[in-house]
Amino acid sequence: MSGEIKWYRVPVDEVLTLLDTDEDGITAEEAQIRLSKYGFNEVEVKKKESSLHRFARQFASPLIYVLLAASLVTFILEEYADMAVILGVVLANAVIGFIQERKAENALESLAKMLVPETSILRDGQRMIIHSRELVAGDIVLLEAGNRIPADLRLMYVKNLRIDESMLTGESTAVEKNIDPIETKSLPLAEQKNIAFGGTLVTQGNGLGIVVATGSESEIGKISELISKTKKISTPLVRTIDQMAKKLAVVILGLAILTFIIGRLRGFDDLDIFFASVSLAVAAIPEGLPALITISLAFGIKRMASRNAIIRTMPAVESLGSATVICSDKTGTLTKNEMTIRNIYTLEGKFDVTGVGYTTEGDFELQGKKIDPLGHPALMETLKAGALCNDAYLKEEGGIDGDPTEGALLVSASKAGKFYMQRVDTIPFESEERYMATLHQDDEKNSWIYVKGSPEKLIELCSHQFNGKELSSIDPENFLTAAEDMASDGLRVIATAYRKLEQGKDEIEEEDTKDLIFLGLQGMIDPPREEVKRSIFKCNNAGIRVIMITGDHILTGHTIARQLGIRTEGALSGSDIQGMSDEELTEALRTVSVFARTSPEDKSRIVGLLKQEGEVVAVTGDGINDAPALENADIGVAMGKSGTEVAKDASDMVLADDNFASIVNAVEEGRNVYSKIQKVILWTLPTNAAEGLAVLAAVILGLNNPPLLPLHILWINTITALGLGVSITMEPMEKKLLNRPPRPPKEPLLLPVIKQRIVTVALLMVTATFLLYFFEMIQNGRDSNTAQTIALNTIVFFEIFYLFNCKSIYENVFKELFSNKFMLMGIALVLSLQVFITYNPTMNAILKTSPIEPVDWLVIGVTASSVFFLIELEKYVKKKRKIN
C-alpha cells in the first residue's frame, strides 16, 4: 500500500490523507478490508529443507556414485562381503556428514519473531491492544519507553522520544526522534529521524506513529527478502573437493575400462576381467577421503569452540583459513558498544579521562599527568551537572540502565565521587530545544538548575562562564572551537551549565533556563576493544584486509578505523555508495576500507563486489541489518552475546565472546585445518593409487593369482583409513601459520608435489611388493596364500612408513617422528590387526591368508621402509636446491 513513497519527506497531515486515516485511526471495518487485501504484518518464512533430503544430499558426490555402482556390481557377482564393506563405508560417510551439518535455515523465522506479538493502537478513536500481525497501514500506534516497534511508522507526535536502532542501522547511540518532514531525496535509515522502524526499541519518552509499511514492505521485510534471495555459494574447500572428486572419478573409470580392454586382449574370462575392473575402481577410489576430511573439519570445530568460535557449518572451518578480506561491523564488534567519556574541556584546561565502558574505575589527567579532580572546581561542577541532569542509573552488578549517552556522563562523574541532590522538577530533552534541564534542592531548600545539551544551544542560553574561581562573560568562540576539535576526533560532545535559583524554588519556568553559567564540554565515544588493534595487526601480517562497514557517522567510523590501524584512504558514506556504479565502487574498494551510514543493501553489495574480484570474504555483524551480508559472504560471523537471533541464524560462525580477536584465532585454526586436509590427501591418494595400480599390473602381467585379492584391498582401505588416516588429523599445529599469505582461492588441492608423490610412491610400492611376491613364489616356493599374505602386509607397512613422511609436505620429519601420540597408537592398532588376520584361523579362511615366519616380518619392514628414506631424501634435495 505504501509503494515507493519516501514517507520521511511527507508532512504528517499529508500522510494521513494518503493513507485515508486521521488522528483517531481507521475504523475496525476498514482494518479488516485492508488486512484481507494486503495481508498480515509478518515476514514470510521459506520452507526448510527436510531431514530426509539433507541426508540424501550426503550421497551427492562423484566418488560416492562410483562406489555405489561398484557395490551394485559386487552384488550381481554375489561377492556379498565386498558389497557389505563398500556400502558400510558409504553409509558411515553419509551419517557423519548429516550429523555435522547442523545449520538450520531459520533466519527468516527469527525476523518474524522481531515483530512483537501485541501492540497498543487507536481505532475509531478508542485505545485498544491487538496482535501486531493484524496491524495495517493507517493504524495509529502508541509508543512508550520499553516498547518494541511493531511496524514501520511515520511519527506524528513525540515527547522526548529516543529509539535504539543499532540492530537495524548500526548507530551506536539511541536516536532522538521528531516529526518534521525532511526534504532530502535519498536518506540513509539512520538519518530518517521522523520514522520508527519495525523491530527497534523505544528507550525513552513516548509518541504516536502512523503505520506506513507492514510485513514484507517494512525495512525488516526488505531484509528478509534479501536473505531469501541470497543463494549460499559453496565454500572454497567444497568447490575444490568437488572438482578433485570429478577428476578422480573420470581417471578411475578410465583405468577400469583400460583394465577391461587389456584383460580381454590377454584372454581373461569376461566375468573375471569385469570383476578385476571393478576391483581396480574400488581399490583406487579413496572412499575414506570424505570421512577423513569430515573428521579434520570436526576436530577443527572442537578446537575453535575452545577458542570461543562456535562453528555452525562444517566447511566454514576451512573457509576462514583462506579468507582474504574481513568486512566488520563497528558497533559491538570492533568497539565495546559502551559510550565512554574521553575528554572534558573547561576553562581550567582539557582533561583526559581513563577507563573504558560502564565501569567506574578510571582517573583524570591534565597534560599527561594524573590529577585530583577535587582540586579543579570547574571540572567538578561539569561532572556534577552531567550526573544530576540525568535519567540513567548505574546497576549494582555493573552496566547502566537508560540512554548510553547519559550512562557515559554518569560513569565519568562516578570516577570523581558521588553527587546527589534531590530532584524536584525536569524539562525532558526535546529535539526542538536540544537540551534537558533538572531542578534540584539541598536539605536547606537551596535550589539549582542544571542543564545539558548541544554546545551551540547552551552557549545561546548562557551569559557567563566559570573558570574554577570566578565568573566572567562567556566567550562563545572558545567553547565552539573546543567542541569542533572534539568532534574532529570522532567524539560526541555534550555541554553543561547551571544557575542558582531563589531558595525554595520547586518548579522550572522559562526564565530559569536563561542567563546560565557555562561549565564545560564532555566528549564521548564508543571505544575500540583493547585487543582489536593487535588482532588487526595480525590480519595485516597474515595478508588479510580488514574493512569497516558501519551504520554509524562517517567521522566516527574513520576515527575508530585510524585508531585501530585499519589501512584506508578516506571513507565513503552510504549516499556516496548509492551514487556509484558497480565499476566505480569496485575501484573505490581497492583503497577505501571505511564505509559509514550504510544500509543492508549497501553492505551486501560491497560483499558481492569483493567476491566478484576473487576475494574470499568473511563478514562480521550483530544486527538485523547485517543478516543479508552474513548470508552473502563466504563465511558469516555473528556476535554471540550482543548479536540478534537473525544475525546468528544467518551466520556460519558465532563468536561466544563477541571478540574480534577470536576471529584471528579462527583464521589460524582454519589454516591449520586446511594444512591437515592437504596431508590427508598427500597420504590417501598415493596409497590408493598403489592399490589400484597393483590390480592393473596383475592384469597386464596375466596373473591368475594376483598379489592382492579384492577383499585384501577393501581390508587395507578400511583399517588404514581408520587407524592411520585419522591420526593425521591429530597432528600438532604448524608454527607461523599467520605469517603466510592466504591460500589463493583457485589453488588446487592436488598440488604439483602431491601429483609427483602419487606417481613416485605408487610405483615404488607396487614394484617392491610384486618383486617380493614373485621372489616368495618362485625363489622360496611359497604357496599363493602365503605369498599374498606377505604382499598384503608389505602394502600395509608401506602405508605406515609413508604416513611419517606426510607429517610435513616440504620439511624433513626426523625430529617430529614421535610428536603425535595418536599416530603411534593408530600404527600399533593396525599392526595388531595385521598380526591377527595373519595368524587367526578364522581370518585365514575369510581373507585367504596364511601364517608367515618371523624373518618374513623383517624382510617386509626393510622393504617398506624404503619409501620413508626416499621421500625424506627428496625433500632434503629440493630444499637444498631452493636455498642455493
Catalytic residues: 329
CA 531, CA 542: separation in Å to the nearest integer?
Answer: 17
Name the residue with cell 593487535. Answer: 534
Longest Cα–Cα distance of the chain, Å, equals: 122
CA 41, CA 27: separation in Å to the nearest integer?
Answer: 18
For every residue of 523-588, DSSP letters joined together read EEE-PBPTTHHHHHHHHHHTT-EEEEE-SS-HHHHHHHHHHHT---SS-EEHHHHHTS-HHHHHHH
C-alpha angle 620-626-627 in degrees, rounded to nearest 5: 105
Q: Which residues contact 608 (CB under 8 A, 6 or more apart)?
A: 632
74: closest CA among 704, 705, 710, 696?
710
Task: Tell me how many helices (H) and strands (E) the chain has.
Answer: 32, 28
- Tell me the Cα Rg of the chain: 36
Alpha helices in 354-475 (DSSP H): 377-388, 404-414, 455-461
CA 618, CA 273: separation in Å to the nearest integer?
Answer: 51
Phi first, then psi, for residue 310 (nearest 5°) are -95, 115
How many CB atoms neighbour CB 634 within 10 A?
A: 27
Name the residue with cell 578505523. Answer: 561
C-alpha angle 470-474-475 in degrees, rounded to nearest 5: 120
Name the residue with cell 624382510. Answer: 859
Dihedral sign computed on CA atoms, order 552, 555, 556, 557: positive
Measure Cα distances from 657 to 302, 619, 654, 662 in Å.
16, 17, 9, 8
784: closest CA among 840, 710, 713, 703?
703
Measure Cα distances from 629 to 107, 558, 818 in Å.
13, 21, 45
Residue 706 pairs in a beta bridge with none
CA 225, CA 609: separation in Å to the nearest integer?
Answer: 19
SS3 state at 517: strand
DSSP state at residue 547: E
Read off the amino acid at residue 150: P
Q: Report residue 104 as a C-alpha cell.
A: 538450520
CA dihedral 710, 711, 717, 723 (to 10 degrees): -160
Q: Which residues contact 614 (CB under 8 A, 6 or more apart)?
A: 745, 746
Q: Report residue 426 as a C-alpha cell.
A: 525536569
Measure Cα distances from 549 to 37, 342, 593 in Å.
38, 24, 8
CA 775, CA 785: separation in Å to the nearest integer?
Answer: 14
Residue 123 pairs in a beta bridge with 126
CA 26, CA 134: separation in Å to the nearest integer?
Answer: 13
CA 36, CA 30: separation in Å to the nearest integer?
Answer: 10
Name the residue with cell 567510523. Answer: 557
Read off the amino acid at residue 773: Y
DSSP state at residue 776: I
Is residue 189 within 8 Å of 170, Cβ to Cβ? no
